[in-house]
Structure 1
Amino acid sequence: MSPDGKKIRGSMEAVSEMTVINTLTNKGFVVLDIKEVKRRGFGPIFAVKLEDIVTFSRQLSVMISAGVRIRNALEILSKQESFSKRFRRVLSNIIVSLETGLSLAEAMRNEKVFDEIFINLVESGEKGGVLDIALERIATFYEDMKRLRDEVKSAMTYPIFVLIFAIIIVFVISFFILPRLISAFGTLPTNPVINTLIKVNRFLSDNWSWVLVAGISIAVGLYVFFKTKIGVRVKSIMANVIPIVRSIRYGLAVERFTRTLGVLLESGVAITDAIELAARSSENHRIEDAAPEMVDMVKKGVSLKEALLTVGVLPKIVAEMVGTGEETGKLPEILEKVSEFYDEEVRNKVKKLVSMVEPMMIALVGGFIAFLALTMYQTIFTMQQSIGR
């Protein structure tokens, strides 16, 4: 129960139930009931939509700049049906945490929904009295990140569609056309390709339930595995086998690192914390592994430029640009320009990849369909001859 007599409920992260009771009692609250809540194992996998976080940041920024109190603004936003139910529940929990005396950044950290970059930017905004500016910067930052990722995904949609189309054709031939031909002619074809398709057809028909269960289990298992740290690294290694894909992924990593570092430094986050957070946001294991060494060097008084050149995980041009930013006192602005350069470079490489893949996929699928059609024709012709005899 709150100091003003209202019954409220919420969650708080602490080492024990007694710690929660003491903390709330010291702030004037009366604890009526308390129980430990287990964290959901699939929390990070089924996370809040990025669109909700971006919209929330922008709307909260507008409200705060208009003079609305944070708590009142959150109450208004928590009732907006445009947000998902889960995100509205998160906002309600944040309101309760604010009533217990936590800062907005601390309340957000308790919810395990907002990443460390978001929380650090909010914390810096609160300390500097520019929370509305920090939230606007957050919205722009995540919008830019999402836009580039969406463009990369969109560019790869057509090749994936063509591949799925080819699989559907094989499925239709195997499960609908071939069985009817066999029943019509009453004999099995001798063509090895068609024979293989028939055997696959029979196996799947006889064991479809087991195949379905195995397929779903493998799909879910791979999905969960690729969300783990080891899985992310395995996926990265597999993707990096193709040179142009490796180049695109590296460009994305550099773009994310420089953009994140620039935004964090501009918001007043300490450079050592900013390096660690930016390295994590890059989603590149080489950059992440090099972050502790960079941080140690900067703590010892080495310039960021020299630290980048020493670890050698970023292009030299990036280190040189960083050096220029350090000398002129405009490091955040320089980092933003570097990120924009790599943003454009990634786009161009993706367009190049798609222009290469599209005709190859069309040629492969066309050739495959032509091969199947010719094989089917020969099979029908052979079966007709055998019947004629």
Structure 2
Amino acid sequence: MSQKLYYWLALTSNGELQRGESIGNARQHVYLRLAQKGYQPLRLRYRQTLTQRYWKATARIVLFKQIVALLQAVLPLLNALRLMAEQHELPGWRCLINSLADDIAEGESFSDVLRHYLQVFPTLYLTLVAVGKMTGKLDVCCQQLATQQEQQLQLQNKVKQALRYPGFVLGVSVTVSIIMLI
């Protein structure tokens, strides 16, 4: 099921006006999440549907490389995610990273949090992050994951590029054959 991006306007418990963005499967999900934070939603506006194409592999690779850099700089994972969310330019990714950070702040493990977003993070990510957490080498596992995914993406691009010419020749030959038969 694809996620949807919403912009919201809400009142905090102090009566201050707060603006933000959230992702969820439905409006009710976003309303519930805002209520759990202690906000009184005033306006909720649909922005876009976040399909599988939105969650590009290159963005996942960059995300994990940034996590590695911040973990190696001895920044706690929660702080690293908050910092990355503030600086991300795409609203869907910003919301996703904030959601990850919120769930980690509530006491869930990083691998369990990633499990909530299987449409974004394949099971390989969950497994390697769980191994990294158990061994105490999360930064090393995330680095290996980012490197492996980057190599896989490069291989996929090379295969696509190698198949372009044979595909073009096949298309031309089929077209010429059809023209000759007609």
Partner residue of 1:142? 149
Partners of 1:148 and 1:106 lie apart in 2 by: 29
Whole-angstrom distance in 2 between the partners of 1:52 and 1:136? 15
Q: CA deviation at 1:154?
A: 1.1
Q: Is the 8 A contact 2:22 2:95 kept in 1?
A: no
Larger helix proportion of the pair: 1
Aligned-partner Cα distance in 1 for 2:109–2:60: 18
Distance apart, 1:33 and its partner CA: 6.3
| Cα deviation, residue 371, structure 1 | 4.3
The equivalent position to 2:140 in structure 1, one of 133, 136, 141, is 133
**Which sections of structure 2, spanning at least 5 residues, go unmatched?**
1-11, 13-17, 42-48
Alignment of 1:1-389 (within 5 A): 31=38, 45-46=52-53, 48-81=55-88, 84-112=90-118, 113-162=120-169, 166=172, 361=173, 368=177, 371=180
Provide the residue aligned with 1:294 in structure 2.
none
Relative distance call for 1:370 and 1:89 in structure 2 (3 A) is: same
Contact 2:65-2:143 within 8 A present in 1 as well: yes
Q: Displacement of 1:130 after TM fit?
A: 0.5
What is the TM-score normalised by the length of structure 1? Answer: 0.33
More strand by share: 2
CA positional deviation for 1:30: 6.3
Instruction: Give the share of equivalent positions with the same residue, in percent.
Output: 22
Q: Does the residue aligned with 2:121 lie in a helix, a strand or coil?
A: coil
Q: Which amino acid aligns with 1:86?
A: G
Q: Which amino acid aligns with 2:139?
A: D
Report if the CA contact (8 A) 2:50-2:92 is conserved. no
Give the 3 Å change call, closer, same or farther, for CA 142–30 of structure 1 in structure 2: closer
Q: Is the 8 A contact 2:129 2:138 kept in 1?
A: yes
Residues 61 and 146, structure 2, Cα contact 8 Å, conserved in 1: yes
TM superposition shift of 1:51: 0.3
d(CA) in 1 for partners of 2:167 and 2:92? 32
Matched residues in 2 for 1:47 and 1:77: separation? 18
- Return closer, same or farther for 1:139/1:163 CA change in 2, 3 Å cut-off: same
Q: Answer whether contact 1:9 1:96 (CA < 8 A) is retained.
A: no
Rounded to whole Å, the distance in 2 between the matches of 1:85 and 1:30 is 20
In angstroms, what is the RMSD of aligned CA positions?
Answer: 3.6
Compared with structure 1, are the counterparts of its residues 160 and 33 closer, same or farther at alpha carbon in structure 2 (3 Å cutoff)? farther
Alpha-carbon distance, 1:111 to partner: 2.5
Q: What runs of 5+ residues in structure 1 fail to find an aligned partner?
A: 2-6, 22-28, 35-41, 167-360, 376-389
Cα deviation, residue 140, structure 1: 1.2
**Distance verdict in 2 for CA 1:92–1:30, change over 3 Å:** closer
Alignment size in residue pairs: 149
Provide closer, same or farther for how the CA distance between residues 370 and 106 of structure 1 changes in structure 2, counting only shifts above 3 A. closer
Distance 1:107 1:369, change over 3 A: closer
Amino acid at match of 2:101: I
> In 2, are the aligned partners of 1:11 and 1:97 still within 8 Å (CA)?
no
| Letter aligned with residue 104 of structure 2 | L
Matched residue type, 1:154: Q
